[in-house]
Amino acid sequence: MNVMVTGGAGYIGSHAVQRLLRDGHTVVCVDNLSRGHREPMDLLSDDRLTFAPGDLSDKSLLSRLLAGHEIDTIMHFAALTYVGESVQQPLAYYRNNTAGALNLLEAADAVGVERFVFSSTAATYGEPPPERIPIQEDCPQEPINPYGQSKLAVERILTDWASARRAAGRPVAFAALRYFNVAGCDRSGVLGEDHDPETHLIPVVLQACLGQREAVTMFGTDYPTPDGTCIRDYVHVEDLIDAHVHTMLALRPGDARRYNLGIGAGYSVRQIIDAVRAVTGVEFEVREGARRPGDPPSLFADPSRIRADLGWSAATRDVHEIVETAWKWFKAHPHGYAST
Ligand code: UFG
């Protein structure tokens, strides 16, 4: 297939580019490099990869690429993804995530792209009540921050677009993949996770192991969970991309699919810290801190819909294995891609 990957120079998008090339697809990657890195593009260099530096606001670039490369599928990863930042800069989130997706979709619609795989998020569920955990796809979507809102708006745009096209007798297909906590790095050791600033739990703890942070702070130890810390569903980035490929290959005209991508089990912050200690053998200081605003106590997926529909489930179920893949890359790249 001819696939456009937006945000393909970022953490998750670059893993998608790698997998699509391995599977023999042709890839056009669009990334404005505001959060992504040029290095993965160089590392993945291939005759079947075109890297087009550019922004989703540049509709003429998008139209040219879509038509010129006869794109049949879009995997749309490009987005701003920090919950806290979205509260401080909501307009930037709606512009990048919602208006950016709309621009892309208008360009895609005009040239007749028929498959759209969208990176959505568990943040669209907001703070589900305990009886809704594990979360199924029919859980009400009530985001509690602009990040989740900006992604939910795109899900709704896709739904309306698909309905209109179906009614017009020109059906298209889309999937909204709602990610839980994506973690780990590519097992061949080429691609990694390089955010600035880094706020995600596993990389933060690994940076403490490397001596780059004085200590790790657990944000809240008084939650109504077995050990008092928040519980999340950590899914390996390569498994997550495997779900994208399963979805892309299954999409048929008229499909409107919505899937949770997680392993279906939760780990607490303390359990993650213990797993990092066990994998790395490094001691580091752990502090008990205040709760981080907006963190729900427990959030994990019921991923049974995608298993039933497409036969996908996460191959890596042990968080130690996920941490090992990340540790391998962090040790080799203590300063991210700049170390290469
Ligand atoms: N945490 C700490 N200390 C840290 C960093 C994180 O205790 O230094 C805790 C957080 O409070 C949270 C857990 O570790 O309880 C996981 O936090 P992350 O920041 O790694 O991830 P989040 O669950 O906040 O966010 C992830 C994605 C978001 C997405 C959200 C959906 O990164 O993009 O899941 O719920 F919106």
φ, ψ for residue 259 (rounded to 5)?
-130, 140
Residue 340 above 90 pLDDT?
no
Measured by CA distance, the residue closest to atom 5 of ligand 1 is 201
Give 286's strand partners.
Answer: 216
Helices and strands in the chain: count of H runs, count of E runs: 12, 14
Report how many domains make up the chain. Answer: 2
CB 39 within 8 A of CB 261: no
Ligand 1 atom nearest residue 296's Cα: 15
Residue 78 pLDDT: 98
Domain containing residue 224: CATH number = 3.90.25.10
- My answer on whether 128 and 247 are in the same domain is yes
* Residues 25, 152 within the same domain: yes
**Best residue for ligand 1 mutational test, from 269, 287, 288, 299 (most atoms within 8 Å of Cβ):** 269
User: Do 223 and 307 sit in the same domain of this protein?
Assistant: yes
| Residue 22 domain-assigned (yes or no) | yes
Smallest CA separation from ligand 1 atom 34, residue: 181
What's the CA-to-centroid distance between 200 and ligand 1, angstroms?
6
Do residues 241 and 318 both lie within one domain?
no
Q: Residues near ligand 1 with C-beta < 6 Å? A: 81, 83, 121-123, 147, 181, 199-201, 204, 216-219, 230, 232, 269, 292, 295, 299
List, for residues 112-134, the tens digit of each pLDDT value. Answer: 999 999 999 999 999 999 999 99
Three-state DSSP class for residue 243: helix
Domain-embedded: residue 9 = yes
Judge if 214 and 154 occupy the same domain.
no
Q: Which numbered atom of ligand 1 lies nearest the CA of 200?
A: 20
Ligand 1 centroid distance, CA of 108 (Å):
33
Backbone angles phi, psi at 139, to 5 degrees: -60, 135
Is residue 294's pLDDT more than 80? no
Task: Give a yes or no: residue 160 inside a domain.
Answer: yes
Asked whether residue 190 is domain-assigned, the answer is: no
> What CATH number is attached to the domain comprising 176?
3.40.50.720
74 shares its domain with 39? yes
Confidence of residue 295 (pLDDT cuts 50, 70, 90): confident
Point out the ligand 1 atom lying closest to the alpha carbon of residue 202: 20
Same domain for 166 and 309, yes or no, is no
H helices of the chain, where? 11-22, 38-43, 59-68, 83-88, 90-93, 100-111, 146-167, 201-209, 237-250, 269-280, 304-310, 319-332
Is 188 within the bounds of a domain? no
- How far, in Å, CA of 193 to CA of 203, rounded? 8
Q: Single out the catalytic residue among 125, 147, 223, 337.
A: 147
Helix or strand or coil: residue 151? helix
Residue bearing the CA closest to ligand 1, atom 10: 219
Q: Give the range of the structural domain holding residue 227, as residue numbers without chain letter.
A: 201-232+265-339
Q: Does any domain span residue 193?
A: no
Q: Examine the residue annotation and report whether 125 is marked as an active-site residue of this protein.
A: no
Q: In 3-state terms, what secondary structure has residue 2?
A: strand
- Tens digit of pLDDT for each residue in 166-216? 999 999 999 999 999 999 999 999 999 999 999 999 999 999 999 999 999
On the 0-12 / 13-18 / 19+ scale of CB atoms within 10 A, 273 is buried
Task: Tell me, yes or no, whether 160 and 214 share the same domain.
Answer: no
Look up tokens 């810390």; give the residue.
Answer: 229
Asked if residue 295 is part of any domain, the answer here is yes
Examine the domain organization and report whether 69 and 54 are in the same domain: yes
- CA-proximal residue: ligand 1, atom 21 (nearest): 200
Whether 170 and 210 share a structural domain: no
pLDDT tens digits, residue range 233-261?
Answer: 999 999 999 999 999 999 999 999 999 99
Residues 176 and 321 in one domain: no
Tell whether 289 is covered by a domain: yes
CB 28 within 8 A of CB 3: yes
223 and 119 share a domain?
no
76-125 pLDDT, tens digit per residue, is 999 999 988 999 999 999 999 999 999 999 999 999 999 999 999 999 99
- How many CA atoms, within 13 angstroms, populate the side-chain half-sphere of residue 220? 18
Instruction: Please state the separation of Cα 121 from the chain's center in Å.
Output: 7
